[in-house]
Amino acid sequence: MTKDLFQLIDENNSVQTEAALLAGTIPEATNPEGQTPLLYALYKKNIPIALLLIRHGANVNAQDQVLNTPFLYAGAQGFTDVVAACLKAGADFTILNRYGGTALIPAAEKAHLETVKLLAGTPGFPIDHVNNLGWTALLEAIILGEGDETHSTVVATLIEAGCNVNIADKKGITPLTHARQLDYREIAALLEAAGAR
């Protein structure tokens, strides 16, 4: 019996995976959780096979049962090489995760700086998208971040990329007010310099 792509990923067998793809195996079968081999490889943190699958045309926008796509999940995990490959392969910015968010929002929260730089600098990326919680990437970096140097750099990156520093949360609290309340002085200073109110 020929092994399927999920088995080959479990075995970390990139040689047979490529052979199967070259022989015409379509990389869009799904497992019971609705995951394609590409998304499954990313859940397994198998970046080389994930990149291989993308090179062979795997769909970077296919959502599983928890509404992750390869692009969204790679952004949330800070897999920057995969995010870059997804962008080249036609990542759809209108597909959202289960929180109604983009790939950038969790990347900003978790301070995946290189991923934030890549997405914020991508033409047409919705940098000011508001998720179901009422938060932008900027708000999430402040509210759920740690106020440390890396999160400060994330905030600076978003500002430099042209984000709107005055989009408030659902309660009308602005990023600057949050930063002040949390005593994140460096972030507050960055926001003030960018015209935040």
Which of 122, 127, 34, 117 shows the shortest CA–CA distance to 78? 117
Structure confidence by residue, pLDDT tens digits, 125-149:
999 999 999 999 999 999 999 999 9
Structure confidence by residue, pLDDT tens digits, 158-182:
999 999 999 999 999 999 999 999 9
Q: What is the pLDDT of residue 1?
A: 34
Q: 114 and 184 share a domain? A: yes
Q: Residue 17's CB: how many other CB atoms inside 10 A? A: 26
Q: What is the pLDDT of residue 103?
A: 98
Q: What is the mean pLDDT of residues 59-66?
A: 98
Q: What is the mean pLDDT of residues 13-30?
A: 94
Q: What is the pLDDT of residue 136?
A: 98
> In whole angstroms, what is the distance from residue 44 CA to residue 155 CA?
30
Q: 58 and 121 share a domain? A: no
Q: 28 and 53 share a domain? A: yes
Of the residues 31, 60, 95, the one at which a domain ends: 95
pTM exceeds 0.75: yes
Structure confidence by residue, pLDDT tens digits, 92-108:
999 999 999 999 999 99
> In whole angstroms, what is the distance from residue 131 CA to residue 66 CA?
16
Q: 78 and 165 share a domain? A: no
> In whole angstroms, what is the distance from residue 118 CA to residue 161 CA?
10
Q: 120 and 173 share a domain? A: yes
Contacts with 15 (C-beta within 8 Å, 6 or more apart), sequence order: none
Domain carrying residue 6:
1-95
Banded model confidence at residue 2, pLDDT cuts 50, 70, 90 = low
User: Tokens 């799904």 — which residue?
Assistant: 30
AA identity, residue 175: P
Provide the percentage of residues in the chain whose pLDDT is more than 70: 99
Handedness of CA 39, 126, 145, 155 (dihedral sign): positive
Tally of domains within the chain: 2
Q: What is the pLDDT of residue 3?
A: 76
* Dihedral angle over CA of 89, 91, 71, 133, nearest 10: 170
Q: What is the mean pLDDT of residues 84-88?
A: 98
Q: 108 and 163 share a domain? A: yes
CATH code for the domain in which residue 172 is found? 1.25.40.20
Q: What is the pLDDT of residue 8?
A: 96
* Alpha carbon of residue 3 to chain centroid: 31
Q: 6 and 40 share a domain? A: yes
Q: 81 and 112 share a domain? A: no
Of the residues 78, 95, 112, the one at which a domain ends: 95
> In whole angstroms, what is the distance from residue 93 CA to residue 166 CA?
22
Of the residues 72, 95, 118, the one at which a domain ends: 95
Q: Is the pLDDT of residue 82 over 80?
A: yes
Q: 2 and 84 share a domain? A: yes
Q: What is the mean pLDDT of residues 148-153?
A: 98
> In whole angstroms, what is the distance from residue 80 CA to residue 109 CA?
15
Q: What is the mean pLDDT of residues 24-46?
A: 96
Q: 140 and 77 share a domain? A: no
